[in-house]
Structure 1
Amino acid sequence: MPGRVIIDESNTFFYGETNLEGVLDLVSRSKKPVQELAWASIGNVLTAIQICEAHDRGVLVPWNSWRHEFYKPMGTLHDADRGGFIFAPEVGLHENVHELDFSSLYPNIICTRNVSPDVIRCDCHSDRDDVPGLGYSICDDRGYLVDVLQPIIDARDEIKAAIRHEKERDDPDEDRLAELEGRSGALKWILVACFGYQGFSNAKFGRIECHEAINAFAREILLTAKQRLEAGGWRVVHGIVDSIWVTPDPDVNDEDREDLQTLATEITERVEIRLEHEAQYDWVAFVPQRESDAGALTKYFGKVAGDDDFKIRGIEARQRSTPPFIEDVQRDCLDRLDTTRSPDAVLGRLERAIDELQAGNVAVERLIERNRVSKPLEGYSQNTQNVAALKRAREQDLAVHPGQDIEYVVVDDEKSSRDRVALAHEEIETYDASYYETQLVRAVESVLSPLGWDRTDIRRELSGERDAVLSSFGASNELS
């Protein structure tokens, strides 16, 4: 309809992840129509922005990707086929932890190191070794990818500064903040994708050597930061790609330890990318992998210094499929761990939650699971709960397409048919308490595993507590 724009909220990425202001910002940069941009992928929008730059330069746009991979010896291929640097987290609870982040590391590497498909491994400087460890040269001519990303980086820095300024006001304008947050979020998604898209085989302007070079520079930068921080009296407890967590080294006297902000400034000047102090935590707990003692790279939680909130990553409270009841119990357990540092207090909360479940006192609305459908029903080979829900939806003539969510309550997890679950809109009279008890134990295991507990220990402790309660109950009856 002329003069109207329709955004389908059930089939949109950017509008769902940001807001209308974020969508409109990208419209101005990509020249895509609003309704088309709303459903477009990140790579689609990034390509549109790159095409705009190509037009401004008078460069023809290839119909398909055409840049082949340069020949390289097996040794170089082995060295190049690596990701960013990772320092495995030290599983456990660490106190007085600081988190440092490199600002937009990969996009800034592209801009400060001039990494671009049109200048990487150029013939005019083939004798140079510009990329650490790989021997790739980079031409002195400014690459087009730099001109694509630098305005986005600068715009996002300005928006973030405006957000900080607005929050510092006595009476922040919430509408203004929402607008700025939306624009910042939209630009962040483009910056996040620009690195990976260089390694995508179908990217119009991609080149795998750019992807490899960016990773090589990132590894060198993180190692440089680690070495300087440790030399300044700080111990690294975790590091992943562009973030690093440090705590005071107990073997270094406080008077000999260098100021963290001063170190961050020095590292910034050395690597030419801003190292920011992201947060200080009273404590941070790094979670082990489910079936291993090694630290999970992206699972941790911590108490932000001077704040009532926790920063949570990777565990159930951050997972969109987690039912509200499970999430609330896990957050209560975090509060108890923060207050007491005692597993007993956490287990006490778990036991009360299990009692609520077994007594049937939990409202079914608080047990709804929400999962995203990844393929049509016929595409699934396993009888998962999602499959049972999709079968149930089909039985009721409800169309659920890939990319959409389906919501349900598990009513009998022993079954493999559509009767395993009930859809959220149905009248649900019961739920599978044993299934949700298992989910509770897993959630509490995430909280206690940094302290050395696993689900076997939790089950054993719960069994002992229940036996003690039953014994006490029997003894009181005998006395009476």
Structure 2
Amino acid sequence: MDIITGVYFRRGSQLAQAVYPGFILSRQQTSYKGKTRLCYWLKTQQGATKAFVEHEKSVFFVKQIHQDIVKTRLNQVNCQFQLAQVPLKHFDQSQVVALYFSSLSDFYLAKETLNGHVPLYEEDIRHADRYLMERYIKGSVWVTGVSKQGNGYLELHNAKLKAHPSFIPQLNMLSLDIECSGDGVLFSVGLVTQSEKVVIMIGVPEPSDINIIWVEDEISLLNTLQELINQLNPDVLIGWNVIDFDCVVLHERAQALGVSLNIGRDGDAMQVSSGNFTRVLIPGRVVIDGIDTMKNATYHFETFKLSFVAKSVLGREKLIGQDDRLEEIVRQFHEDKTSLAKYNLEDCILVWDIFQQQSLLDFAIARTRLTGLELERMGGSVAAFTNLYLPPLHRSGYIAPNLGEHGLNFDSPGGYVMDSKPGLYQNVLVLDFKSLYPSIIRTFCIDPMGLIEGGRNTYDAIPGFNKGLFSRVHHHLPELVEQLWAARHRAKQDGEHMLQQAIKIIMNSLYGVLGSKGCRFYDPRLSSSITMRGHEIMQTTRRWIEELGYEVIYGDTDSTFVQAPDTFSHQACLDLGKSLMHEINTRWEKELSEKYHLQSFLEIEFETHYHPFFMPTIRGQETGSKKRYVGQIEKNGEHELVFKGMETVRSDWTTISKEYQQAVIRALFDGQSVTEVTEHYIALITSGSVDDKLIYKKRLGKPLDAYVKNIPPHVRAAKEATRLGYVNGLGKGSQIAYFISQSGPQLYIKELKLLDYTHYIEKQILPIYKMLPNVDENTINLAGQRSLDL
């Protein structure tokens, strides 16, 4: 082989075929001359490449005992197929046969004909995905074929793809945002790349200090948009709700106006299809949504509106900030188009900057490199599991079962949560099991195929729970966890933060997938053998720590909270934490070796020293709360409060309650008067100086008219404002900002008036005060004037 800048040349009898490293951007399965043809667009070092894989056959499986029925029914409808004996079986040990189809039309005809008559297996897997999956291709590939130069891209015919272990693409982004009326009539489109910032605006040209391309009407706008996208030639289009909104509106307007939005790299039109989720296909390009990407990267915000995320992440705001944004957009389009263009462009820039600052494209690439899912496919934990698990399962002689075929339908318990011992503590140590559920999978060989094989060889099986037995040798999930574990360690060493995050998310999703009834591998014996083993591990760990003479005051899923002596210094607590960590890990190694003859992959870590630490009671009770506490840690020489589940981290409490809780806990920890702090905040409220901090925010969980009997305050406010005509269009998912007036809840639109200060004192201040230890509930001076009877 000759090697020239990463391109390998394979010498054949007549032609030299180049072998390129690349990354898959999009995938399609189409019919070509009556046969199935796969089309993969890739980004290579040479640019965009369109690879055609010819002569592929779609496949699904049926049980061998049904093959005669299958032959008869398919022959009756003149379906062309090939039935083949394969060395595969069902989980119930029945032999299966494969049905191969040269054309997609025959494949779909067979599914339609056989559905409801015999069980079909793996018929839902698209062949464009299966081709990659069975070759362990996860985004990065080597690709070869007979080359032909296309218009701005390379075409490869009779292509062959092979997994590449490390190729990472350099992808070009384009941030896109549309502005339109409430009916979807287009006003403008903003486009931002590394080098270009431009707005296409309908209207008569006006002077502006930004780049505006003025067009006559929507048709001209769409045609100009098509020209610009093809000229800028991005690999990735990004935006905020760009798939479900911008792309859908553009597609609908193009169809309504008879315009073909040909923005694919080969000149093909953008395709939009809706089902369980909206799917956008632009040949040679990818569309990635910022909201979905951030949610999948486990970002948490009060709301994922661009205005809020931009303020939180970038410290910047949208140019139109009021709640009646659509009304202002329409006004600007008719009266002030240059301002609308600036607003449109700024939204594009905000999305671009969020993607850049938070490395969201890097996260999407890392996720694809791990799971093989399409770049734009967010969510999809079940699909990712199938991608990873199915190929080794086939090589072990099994096909995947259908949903619920085992007939078991009992619920698995959730994570272990211990009753807490409430109070104020000077020193609390937190010991966490590192990736507890993945380490249980790895240690106890929890695995779908292992469950089947364990039941066939009970003599040497590892006992699980609910009669689950697991093979010691025949399994795949423990090895997958091991590979992910090693990959995460390498990513940490190499400083690849987004790859670390992607691996962590995938590892933690494994239990959830096995416990999901939407997964074909769901079996409650699997999920319960993970969670119930977790309960056993946490309870045993607590017992061992208490045998060593230390009290465990709380436990949650994988964390154990241990009280250290009040007199211990910070260093003494650190030494104790490390000692407990070593002792517990050593005991688990011995316990699992002696009891089960297993190697322990359980690893507890000394995570945090809280000094002090407060665990409240459940409101109005003496019982300790769960998942609610606050502690002080030392970080870079500074003291920092860490709140868990308290009002200060909850989005449905007011700003004043959060500020008060921070202040009163600081006073508690510093030995100051919590009563004085409380009276100060009561005085602030009644003085009217903090009215802007008395706004509640809560989302509508369903449409407004669906609230009939129990109508909570935010719904009452929304219904009343809608009835009076102040707002419209509020529905499921809308965030409601409201306040409590003397006449009840009111929607916050532009002003606050006649606030019910007594409500805020009784509902936002006193509940927090009353949960504190050793407080006098009988007399708090209200604004220095009278006592409030608690």
- Calculate the TM-score normalised by the size of structure 2: 0.48
Looking at structure 2, the residues matched to 413 and 119 of structure 1 have their Cα atoms a distance apart, in angstroms, of: 64
1:115-161 CA-to-partner distances (Å, cap 9, x unmatched) read 01221263322245733665532112342333443333333344456
Q: 1:275 aligns with which of 601, 604, 607?
A: 604
Q: For residue 275 of structure 1, what is the amino acid of its counterpart?
A: I
Looking at structure 1, the residues matched to 563 and 510 of structure 2 have their Cα atoms a distance apart, in angstroms, of: 32
Q: Which residue of 1 aligns with 2:389?
A: 53
Contact kept? 1:15, 1:22, Cα under 8 Å: no
1:351 to 2:630 alignment: no
Looking at structure 1, the residues matched to 469 and 624 of structure 2 have their Cα atoms a distance apart, in angstroms, of: 37
Higher strand residue share: 2
Deviates more, 1:241-250 or 1:217-226: 241-250
Shift of residue 399, structure 1, vs aligned partner: 3.5
| Partner-residue secondary structure (3-state), 1:276 | strand
| Partner-residue secondary structure (3-state), 2:698 | strand
Q: Which residue of 2 aligns with 1:191?
A: 507
Contact kept? 1:67, 1:206, Cα under 8 Å: no
Alpha carbons of 1:330 and 1:393: their partners in 2 closer, same or farther (altered >3 Å)? farther
Q: Percent identity?
A: 19
Contact kept? 2:460, 2:472, Cα under 8 Å: no
| Partner-residue secondary structure (3-state), 1:298 | coil
1:35 to 2:267 alignment: no
Alpha carbons of 1:161 and 1:203: their partners in 2 closer, same or farther (altered >3 Å)? same
Higher helix residue share: 1
Q: Which residue of 2 aligns with 1:421?
A: 746
Contact kept? 2:462, 2:469, Cα under 8 Å: yes
Alpha carbons of 1:259 and 1:333: their partners in 2 closer, same or farther (altered >3 Å)? closer
Shift of residue 25, structure 1, vs aligned partner: 2.0
Looking at structure 2, the residues matched to 227 and 390 of structure 1 have their Cα atoms a distance apart, in angstroms, of: 52
Contact kept? 2:545, 2:551, Cα under 8 Å: yes
State which structure, 1 or 2, has the greater radius of gyration over its C-alpha atoms.
2
Q: 1:68 aligns with which of 394, 403, 406?
A: 406
Shift of residue 281, structure 1, vs aligned partner: 1.2
Q: For residue 265 of structure 1, what is the amino acid of its counterpart?
A: H
Alpha carbons of 1:198 and 1:317: their partners in 2 closer, same or farther (altered >3 Å)? same
Shift of residue 413, structure 1, vs aligned partner: 6.6
Alpha carbons of 1:265 and 1:134: their partners in 2 closer, same or farther (altered >3 Å)? farther
Q: How many residues align?
A: 424
1:143 to 2:470 alignment: no
Q: How does 1:295-306 map to 2 (within 5 A)?
A: 295-305=624-634
Shift of residue 202, structure 1, vs aligned partner: 1.9
1:205 to 2:543 alignment: no
Q: 2:294 aligns with which of 15, 20, 30?
A: 15
Contact kept? 2:372, 2:387, Cα under 8 Å: no
Q: Which residue of 2 aligns with 1:377?
A: 704
- Calculate the TM-score normalised by the size of structure 1: 0.76
Q: Which has the higher contact order (CA 8 A, sep 6+)?
A: 1
Q: For residue 435 of structure 1, what is the amino acid of its counterpart?
A: H
Alignment gaps of 5+ in structure 1: 72-76, 164-178, 470-480
Contact kept? 2:393, 2:449, Cα under 8 Å: no
| Partner-residue secondary structure (3-state), 1:35 | coil
Q: Which residue of 2 aligns with 1:286?
A: 615
Q: Which residue of 2 aligns with 1:332?
A: 663
Looking at structure 2, the residues matched to 325 and 9 of structure 1 have their Cα atoms a distance apart, in angstroms, of: 32
Alpha carbons of 1:398 and 1:34: their partners in 2 closer, same or farther (altered >3 Å)? farther
1:6 to 2:220 alignment: no
Q: Which residue of 1 aligns with 2:438?
A: 107
Q: Which residue of 2 aligns with 1:461?
A: 780
Alignment gaps of 5+ in structure 2: 1-228, 243-288, 300-357, 589-599
Q: For residue 547 of structure 2, what is the amino acid of its counterpart?
A: A
Looking at structure 2, the residues matched to 433 and 224 of structure 1 have their Cα atoms a distance apart, in angstroms, of: 50
Looking at structure 2, the residues matched to 231 and 123 of structure 1 have their Cα atoms a distance apart, in angstroms, of: 37
| Partner-residue secondary structure (3-state), 1:361 | coil
1:283-318 CA-to-partner distances (Å, cap 9, x unmatched) read 211111124211111011111146411111111001
Looking at structure 1, the residues matched to 727 and 587 of structure 2 have their Cα atoms a distance apart, in angstroms, of: 62
Looking at structure 2, the residues matched to 393 and 143 of structure 1 have their Cα atoms a distance apart, in angstroms, of: 58
Q: For residue 773 of structure 2, what is the amino acid of its counterpart?
A: L
1:131 to 2:131 alignment: no
Shift of residue 92, structure 1, vs aligned partner: 0.4
1:435 to 2:667 alignment: no
TM-align CA RMSD: 3.6
Looking at structure 2, the residues matched to 325 and 91 of structure 1 have their Cα atoms a distance apart, in angstroms, of: 25
Looking at structure 2, the residues matched to 63 and 210 of structure 1 have their Cα atoms a distance apart, in angstroms, of: 15
